[in-house]
Structure 1
């Protein structure tokens, strides 16, 4: 059962007064009920009458402790209407986020969510919604894409939904990084095939499997930035405790402020306060010279077992004097979602890749939208004339159409000489990954990779990190993200150096004591790439031995586990990694669907994690919506990711209804669901506005909240 409290002191990260004060300042005072054209944004839900969209603001507080991070995301839903409302919001999280907690705050009541099997959680939520109870449901649609549904928000009321998750910190060479996605980009969902292969016999098109059966769950209304100001303002703060003396701390995506309480700590915030949720936030940091650890070994004791996390960077070796010639296939996405700055970044990145080819290399270029085209019929020598022809082809690309990724991926992986040993075969795939059929892509990679190494390059402000990173892991390559134009040269150079560098192969991790380790099979590594191993064992003792070959020479490293430092959240990181492995085993056929689902469900329930099979649900005990009162249902709109071109994505003219969306546009997304009532939806705080009044309102609300809290304590005594 969900746990409810209205008297106990709140946790430190759930102080209602300050949160409501800050979020109300962003949302602004409730406007008067306005007619169409009077300052609101109206949404249709099915055949129902248009309803004014609830307002949303979010706050992210992230605490980094060495190799892990704990994030608290607080979303404030504001109902500015005179009706009772249910709001549904689609939002992204990091692809490795272990979501394990949710709270619903209504007035002075805090309802703590339980983890339940997905279908049971959905049934309980729908029953509470029908009974007029306050309720919230957090469901995973993809490992990096979630939905929140909040039922029975009263007229003029603001409710808070607070989600918490654990994740690992990324490391590449001496650079550590943390990403927070803030907007879910529209995803292309291919329709079921109109014709099945002849070998399968006749089929009724109506019975063919849908490649994206949950297409409606991953779609949301999208605002045209030419007609609407940004919505869903976000504030962000990070408490960074690196565990070593810090050098540079920076963000290439957002302007930040950085305070330094000590040589190993930093406090980071957005320089401008609230910002529009329209791009991923990225923070990077490096150690001070000579301060970076060669080995990171951490452990956490919980429930009678130890969770261990080891991060080791193999030594850098020189590139061999006579590197092996390469066959490189560049694949570039020129679909509609790549419109605007994304296509320019992708073209610039591909041109950098072409310039790095050496005599003796062979190459080809494939472009795709909802069609595909190759520059040459087959691989060609990287000579001056062929390279010039390829560059002219790339320069003429424009963004248009849908994102049919499967066919070009299969074409790039197709190997005419799979037994070839004298050449290295590599695929460099440039895309934003804005698709809904990830499972088909993963299956194709697992079935067709052979000796090919797949290198994914994420383009733009909000790429699909789950697709990009997992595709690279399955393809035994790496994932590089290019968020801004000024990152193209440096990040492509770093990637291409990895492609040219010797691979760390035959990696293996052996514990001297019994342990459940993840990953079960270690991937190939490239220059500067760390080995990360998570394990659970009865007691962290004995040794962990890592072995492999670098440039054909043996490499070995022995770690003593009883010297591990204390870490936080490592058990959650291990469980999330094991769940990811089970999902991969199901997709690639190494586990039956039944066995994989059983393993996932067992891990999720044991560790309280939200997965494909489990959800978090919070339900208040007392009905609050009056009997017979209408409940209006709306899907909250999202911003278009920064740099995307709305016209290239949806077409110049908005379609009148979902059925009128032509094949080239994104299935499941209907801009006509947005009924513009003004040129502005939610105004962000700006200079010269009502900020003083709003701050006074926030202070008053803070005082009222503290008064209610102190009275609650006296009653509790």
Structure 2
């Protein structure tokens, strides 16, 4: 019998390798092995004016040993950046360092070392990287470093990119107590499409020309560079395109649509909105009081030109008005009295509540939103989940958006989620220890001012498919719509976004190029994969398991490194079967066999069949987050349920054993990194070689 050698990509992992943005001790005598120092904090302050960026960094490192050490501080500098200031704390005082060529720096360093002083010298080791030699690093003490550099940011079709090498902190000996990045962004042109694909950021838009972007985390080891994109565009709705294409495979794209921050009232669409509130007996006490405050907030913040109504329901349903009424002082005051008088008593008649809401709605040229709040399952009227959904959707002749709020755990998540999925809205769940008023008011702030409804996208010259969101939502003031998808073909294309504003058709277009070969935006494939996986998992959850869907989820999750309790179970199960059948070499699994963790994740996966309870709510929230992911952290749903102990008894997290390289995943197996491309090969009668 012939033995075949399997050729594959394995990236050797070495703890002694130098990396960027940390202090490493290369010859730490009398210590036995090289090691990186602990990073206490890492603070980044960036000011961007147009395309000029000034980055200031403050870091503190700690030497936990009892020895005086010598080390290197290594930091990658973006291409063409100019280091305009370097300072370091010496004997408690901030001292500026002189930038010298490497030959002069080395000579001065050696002279000061001989004098046992504390030098800090800056030298370039290669393009985009500089090294800082530091001696001495005193035992059990901190070493503080401050750096400042400026750069001109490149602009491509008005799209500007800023990158900060935060990835380096994964080499810290311990998690960082604090990491923060703050960007003060200004431009003489209108700023749009602000987007960070790598981190969960907070964006505060001061006006059309000024925004503050911030990220902060505690007790963490950042392992991804910080990336920020924005466009400069004077259009009412700005469009931008990023595309990724590698090899002969179809490409991936990201389209962003963002309205101006400061919008004239003529460009804000009036809306019809009906609030439906559950006032059954189970809503009594604090829940009802919070819900009433939430409704009052919404009513007080209706726009001029909006029409509204309020429906309360328990055993029966009652409506504030017989039809939606204009927003004026008299109607607002009447609504306040109606809300103040609400009391919790009786059963839960969801069918009658929606029937009354649709009966009292007359079609208009305004979009109609329904905000539905409930804490229970139907106990009166139609109680069968499938039949109730069908009746509500049949009554929804004008295709109103139904936004749902599930309060507590004793709710039918399948009912609420099918209503939102079928009406192109979204769902929100409020746990028993969360504040209903805060959740509802935050939601209302997002939908308060529609800019464009009934959206459609048209692409010429390229074929796009598997785009997410599957159906486009409405576009609101202050929002940024992100559409991920696949494409065939390449070259210049015209993209047109159309929709309705106060009954009139509006169009916004962008001419840009779909890349034929470009791997710069490698963050796009895993984010697209997360959205498709979330979409497929929701199909399985709401409609029943299908082998083809399960196989695709498994394949996509493995290929793109979307590791959650649900996908990790599917991957482990699939690879266990293929190893037993000889179709996969033992030792080349993307996820190493971990029976205890697999058993826990199996329980997670089969919770998708639950229609109520805490587990059902958690599954619904995590699937929606996957299906709407905008950054890496949102692809790691259920991360806290992926802990395990390795052979040394150390606690590890499965999600940290995967990295995305050039649009695909590689997995850590002990001292090796294994390429996910291996899984596409049939390996019967083949074995691993090293």
What TM-score results when the alignment is normalised by the length of structure 2?
A: 0.41
Question: Greater relative contact order (Cα 8 A, min sep 6): structure 1 or 2?
Answer: 1
The structure with the larger Rg is 2
What TM-score results when the alignment is normalised by the length of structure 1?
A: 0.39
